[in-house]
Amino acid sequence: MQKKLIEQLSEYDNDKSLQGTSSQFRSYCTIRRDLRQAAAICDYTINLHNTIKSDSSAFSSMANDLFLVRAAVMHALILYSRWFKSTKGKPQLQASEYFVITSEEMQSHIAIIKLRDSYLAHNQTDILGGDRIWVELDNKGLFISSYSDWLEHMWLQEKNGLDMAMFRRLIGIVHDRIDAEILPKKQRQLDAHLIKILGKSA
């Protein structure tokens, strides 16, 4: 038995249908992998949040590493939302194929895409927290000084339009349909074309 990358097949360069079906299969494999990574980040973040809520001393032991959690949450947001945005040469997922239009899930999905756009693309929203400005006054209300501090939001929270549990649910819904229905269909289409041009092994 031998194996080759599909691009190494002699038929590949001149077979647009083979190129197309293999590209579709590859893209949906990537989508599934992205969603699994995003789900793992959500699970870790939710477990960490629950640990901190149940044991306040746990926060101090991990406070210096929270920037890694924040970075991971942003990465999960990108991994999920990028497939619902227009991408040249790759599939664009349609939310209506995964969520009922009037459902809570659809509303949360819309919120997370808006959040991605306003935070990551346009820098209009800071979901990780924000700088506050304080003014110090004397007892007569006269100005002494001003300073800023950082109010941290460790997680995506309801006031931002969604929470981590709902985000995890959305990821699961999209992943499960791709894994159970769409990806097997893409592979069957690719396999059928390969059998057509190469023949089927006994």
Q: How far apart are CA 114 and CA 143, in angstroms?
A: 40
Contacts of the segment 108-113: beta carbons below 8 A, 24+ positions apart: 108/161, 108/162, 108/166, 108/167, 108/169, 108/170, 109/84, 109/170, 111/160, 111/161, 111/162, 112/77, 112/80, 112/81, 112/156, 112/161, 112/162, 112/167, 112/170, 113/81, 113/84, 113/85
Nearest to 188 by CA among 5, 9, 24: 24
- CB 46 within 8 Å of CB 165: yes
Q: What is the per-residue pLDDT across 58-100, written as a single tens digit (0 to 9) for each? A: 777 776 777 788 888 889 999 999 999 877 889 999 999 999 9
3-state secondary structure of 117: helix
175 vs 72, which has greater pLDDT?
Answer: 175
What DSSP designation does 72 have? H
Answer whether residue 157 shows pLDDT above 60: no
Answer whether residue 43 shows pLDDT above 80: yes
Answer whether residue 188 shows pLDDT above 50: yes
**Tokens read off for 169:** 């649910």
Residue at 14: amino acid letter: N
At 119, is the pLDDT very low, low, confident or very high (cuts 50, 70, 90)? low
At 46, is the pLDDT very low, low, confident or very high (cuts 50, 70, 90)? confident
Q: Is 161 left (phi over 0), alpha (psi -120 to 50) or beta?
A: left
Under 8 Å CB-to-CB from 59, ≥6 apart: which residues? 52
- 12-21, 90-99, 125-134, 178-187: segment of lowest average pLDDT: 125-134
